[in-house]
Amino acid sequence: MGGIAKYAAQRLLLTIPMVLVLLTVVFLFLRVMPGDPVSAMLGGKNVSAQVLAQYREKWGFDRPIHVQYAEYMSSLFRGDFGRSLRTGRPVLEELFIRFPATIELALFGIFFSVVFGFTTGVVAATRADRLADHSIRVFHIASFAVPLFWLGLMLQVIFAVKLGWLPVASRIGGRMAFTFQQITGLYVLDAILRWDGKALADVARHLVLPAFTLGIALTGLQGRITRASMLEVLDADYVTTARAKGLKERTVVLVHALRNALIPIVTVFGLQFAVLMGGAVLTETVFSWPGIASYLVRSIEARDYYSIQGSVVFVALFISVINLIVDVFYSVIDPRVRY
């Protein structure tokens, strides 16, 4: 385990340049591009030059770019993400309040994508080049082409407006929100911890449509990798050996092939997570989901530059951590990997 800990520490250090690069890109785009952040933040209204100068000084935009850059960087390393220009509260605090909502949505999104992507991938591989395989491949390709925001709206119309089975948007029902007490901020977990069946049902009902929508973002990707990797593995000698031993095909596929086929699927999980976070922007917007992605969109609309920068850094860090976890998990499912 010492090896893993050392490797994890190294990887963690490597995320620093990644975050630096992204932050620099965002910072430069912000300052170098035409358009003045101060007048944008004041709503583009006709403000006198004097007021503009005042605000420029107040927010520190009057200093040379490299000074602004150095100051922002140094405060970041002290864990200070600056204050939101809208609310005046620390950006990091606002992000942490919304973080559990995004985590919960992402987890259930992954759940749906695994259910659809994984199973269809395995089915397609075991029936390669037959009708089921072709239909599943078309489904996978088509799932890449669906705009998530559109899918979300369609599901809202069908299941919420027309059928009335599920709520249109938000995380929790209006009445429930008054009495519901958070512990972790992950509502499903909180409802279970409080042993509150009514709350659990309400929260779960709110989760279904957004999580399904987000899950579709990954279904095609996961399904295709699963199929390709299963095809590869099913050709391997040890699978032939397993079959020759007279094992049932089900055992061969599920026990011998699947575990090995998992490796490439887990490897690209870091990338999948990036896709997931991109999808979360649209899903959270459509379903009024109070997570960090919808926070980012609202910050952009309000030209709240510190919140925008803060959210970008936060997402970058989050993805780095996920990648790290994936790498460590990788050595668990594939014992040949040693760090």
Partner 1 sequence: MRGQTILKVGIAIVAAFLIMTVLATQMPTLTGYHPWLYRGAPRLQGPTTQHWMGTDQLQRDVFSRTIGGGKASLIVAFSAVAISMTVGSILGWISGFAGGWLDRVLSLAMDAIYSFPSMILAIVLVAMIGSGLAPMIWAVAFVYIPTYFRVTRAEVLQVRETTYVEAIRAIGASNTRIVLRHVAPNTVNAIMAVSSFNLADAILTVAALSFLGFGLPPPAPDWGFDIQNGQKYLQSGAWWLVTFPGLMIIALSLGFGLIGEGISDLVNPKRKRRHA
> Which residues make up the interface to partner 1 (CB under 8 A)?
17-22, 25-26, 29-30, 33-35, 125, 128-129, 134, 137, 141-142, 144-150, 153-154, 156-157, 161-162, 168, 228, 231, 234-235, 270-271, 274-275, 277-279, 281-282, 285, 293, 296-297, 300-301, 303, 308, 312, 315-316, 319-320, 323
Q: What is the nearest approach in angstroms of partner 1 to the Cβ of residue 18?
A: 4
E strands of the chain, at which residues? none
Residue 71's CB is within 10 A of a number of other CB atoms, namely 13
Can you give the C-alpha Rg of the chain in angstroms? Answer: 24
- In degrees, to the nearest 5, what angle opens at C-alpha 188 toward C-alphas 187 and 192? 110
Q: What is the nearest approach in angstroms of partner 1 to the Cβ of residue 1?
A: 26
Q: What is the nearest approach in angstroms of partner 1 to the Cβ of residue 270?
A: 7
Residue 44's CB is within 10 A of a number of other CB atoms, namely 11
Using the minimum distance from each CB to partner 1, give the nearer residue, 47 or 231. Answer: 231
Q: Which residue has the tokens 């407006």?
A: 161
159 DSSP assignment: I
Using the minimum distance from each CB to partner 1, give the nearer residue, 24 or 181. Answer: 24
Q: Is 30 helix (H, G, I), strand (E, B) or coil?
A: helix
Using the minimum distance from each CB to partner 1, give the nearer residue, 92 or 230. Answer: 230
Using the minimum distance from each CB to partner 1, give the nearer residue, 53 or 271. Answer: 271
Using the minimum distance from each CB to partner 1, give the nearer residue, 194 or 243. Answer: 243
Using the minimum distance from each CB to partner 1, give the nearer residue, 77 or 129. Answer: 129
Q: What is the nearest approach in angstroms of partner 1 to the Cβ of residue 312?
A: 6
Nearest to 22 by CA among 323, 321, 309, 272: 309
Backbone angles phi, psi at 338, to 5 degrees: -125, 140
Q: What is the nearest approach in angstroms of partner 1 to the Cβ of residue 50?
A: 25
Q: Tokens representing 267?
A: 């490897």
The Cα–Cα gap between 204 and 224 comes to 29
Q: Tokens representing 44?
A: 């583009």
Residue 53's CB is within 10 A of a number of other CB atoms, namely 13
Q: What is the nearest approach in angstroms of partner 1 to the Cβ of residue 167?
A: 12
Using the minimum distance from each CB to partner 1, give the nearer residue, 64 or 147. Answer: 147
Q: What is the nearest approach in angstroms of partner 1 to the Cβ of residue 181?
A: 31
Q: Is 118 helix (H, G, I), strand (E, B) or coil?
A: helix
The set of residues, in sequence order, having a beta carbon less than 8 Å from that of 153 and lying 6+ positions away, is 286
